[in-house]
Chain A
Amino acid sequence: MRDVLSPFTAWKHLFREPVTVLDPLNDRPGADRYRGFHQNDLEKCIGCGTCEVICQNAAIDMVPVSDPEDGDSGLRPMIDYGRCCWCALCVDVCMTGSLTMSNDYVWADANPDVFRFTPGVDPKPWNEEEKGYQRPGARVLASTERVHMGERTAKDRIDNFEEIVAGYTREEAMIEADRCVECGLCVATCPAHMDIPDYIKAIREQDYDKGLQLLYQTNPFSEVCGRVCTHNCETACAARHDGDPIAIRWLKRHITDEVPYERYVDLIGKPEAATGRKVAIVGSGPAGLTTAYDLARMGHKVVVYEARKSPGGMPRYGIPEYRLPYDMLDRDIDVIRAMGVEIVCNTRIGEDITMETLRADNDAVVLSIGLHLGRSTRIPGAESPDVDTAVPLLRKITDGEEVPVPEKLVVIGGGNVAMDIARSMARLQQVKHGKVGVTVTALESFDHFLADADEVRESREEGIEIFDARGPQEIVTFKSGKRKGRVKGLRTWLCDSIFDDQGRFNPHYDESDELVHPADMVIEAIGQAADVSILGKDLTEALEWTRGRIRVDVDGQTSEPWLWSAGDCVNGPDVVHAVADGHRVAQSINAMLAAKEEAAT
Chain B
Amino acid sequence: MSKAKALSKMTTVGEVLEAAAEFDREAHSFYTDLIPRISKNIRYLVEDLARDELRHIRMLSKLAKNPEVAAHMQDEIKRPQADRKFTDAAHAPELGDNPDDQEVLLYALAREQIAIEEYSELAENTEPGLLHDTFQFLANEERKHKADLEALYYEIVHTAAAPLRHNRQH
Contact = CB atoms under 8 A, between A and B. Distances in A.
- Do A and B share a direct contact in the complex (Cβ within 8 angstroms)? yes
Interface of A: 371, 375-376, 378, 413-418, 444, 450, 500, 504-507, 525-529, 532, 540-541, 543, 545-554, 570-574, 577
Contact of B167 (A416, A506, A529, A551): A551
Given A378-B102, A545-B41, A551-B167, A505 B151 contact: yes
Contacts of B43: 545
B169 A552 contact: yes
Given A551-B169, A554-B168, A554-B170, A545 B155 contact: no
Given A540-B41, A572-B163, A505 B169 contact: no
A371 B159 contact: yes
Interface of B: 39-45, 101-103, 106, 147-148, 150-151, 153-170
Contacts of A526: 157-158, 160-161
Given A375-B157, A527-B161, A553-B168, 9 more contacts: A371-B159, A500-B147, A506-B151, A527-B156, A527-B159, A545-B40, A548-B45, A549-B164, A552-B167
A417 B163 CA distance: 13
B153 A572 contact: no
B132 to A, nearest CB: 25
Contacts of B168: 552-554, 571
The winner among A371, A547, A549 for most chain B CB atoms within 10 A is A547
B163 A527 contact: no
A540 B163 contact: no
Given A505-B151, A553-B169, A554-B170, A572 B41 contact: no
Most chain B beta-carbon neighbours within 10 Å: one of A541, A545, A551: A545
A528 B159 CA distance: 6
A568 to B, nearest CB: 8
Contacts of B42: 548
B150 A507 contact: yes
A552 to B, nearest CB: 6
A50 B34 CA distance: 60
B40 A506 contact: no
- What 7 A-B pairs have minimum CB-CB distances, sorted nearest first? A572-B163, A505-B154, A415-B160, A527-B159, A504-B151, A527-B158, A572-B164
B106 A378 contact: yes
A375 to B, nearest CB: 5
Residue among A376, A527, A573 with max Cβ neighbours from chain B (10 Å): A527
A570 B67 CA distance: 51
Residue from A450, A500, A506 with most neighbouring chain B CB atoms (10 Å): A506
A417 B102 contact: no
A218 B40 CA distance: 36
Q: Which of B106, B154, B158, B162 has the most CB of A within 10 A?
A: B158
Contact of B159 (A444, A529, A540): A529
B151 A573 contact: no
Contacts of B161: 414-415, 444, 450, 526-527
A545 B147 contact: no
A417 B165 CA distance: 19
A541 B158 CA distance: 25
Contacts of B41: 532, 540, 543, 545, 548-550
B163 A577 contact: yes
A546 B168 CA distance: 10
Contact of A573 (B103, B155, B160, B167): B160
Contacts of B151: 504-506
Contacts of B147: 500, 504, 506
A555 to B, nearest CB: 9
A378 B158 CA distance: 13
Contacts of A541: 40
28 contacts: A375-B157, A415-B158, A417-B160, A450-B161, A500-B147, A504-B147, A504-B148, A507-B150, A526-B158, A527-B157, A527-B158, A528-B160, A529-B159, A532-B39, A540-B39, A546-B44, A546-B167, A548-B42, A548-B44, A549-B41, A550-B41, A551-B167, A552-B169, A553-B169, A570-B167, A572-B159, A572-B164, A572-B165
Contact of A375 (B148, B158, B164): B158
Contacts of B166: 547
A428 B165 CA distance: 35
Given A505-B153, A540-B40, A540-B41, A573 B158 contact: no
A416 B161 CA distance: 9
Nearest to B159: A527
A507 to B, nearest CB: 7
Contacts of B165: 571-572
A527 B169 contact: no
Contacts of A450: 160-161
Contacts of B154: 505
Contacts of B167: 546-547, 549, 551-552, 570-571
B65 to A, nearest CB: 33
A574 B41 CA distance: 22
A509 B44 CA distance: 30
A120 to B, nearest CB: 32
Nearest to B153: A505
Contacts of A532: 39, 41
A516 B106 CA distance: 24
A505 B170 contact: no
Contacts of A573: 159-160, 163
B49 to A, nearest CB: 14
A416 B156 CA distance: 17
Contacts of A505: 150-151, 153-155
A504 B144 CA distance: 11
A596 to B, nearest CB: 24
A549 B157 CA distance: 13
A447 to B, nearest CB: 14
B164 A571 contact: yes
Contacts of A371: 159
A572 B159 CA distance: 7
A444 B160 CA distance: 13
A592 to B, nearest CB: 18
A255 B101 CA distance: 44
B160 A547 contact: no
Residue of A527, A529, A548 with highest tally of chain B CB at under 10 A: A548
A23 to B, nearest CB: 62
B160 A413 contact: yes
A34 to B, nearest CB: 48
A434 B70 CA distance: 73
Contacts of A525: 160
Given A543-B40, A551-B169, A552-B168, A527 B160 contact: yes
Contacts of A529: 159
B155 to A, nearest CB: 7
A333 to B, nearest CB: 24
A122 to B, nearest CB: 34
A545 B40 CA distance: 8
A547 B167 CA distance: 8
A518 to B, nearest CB: 25
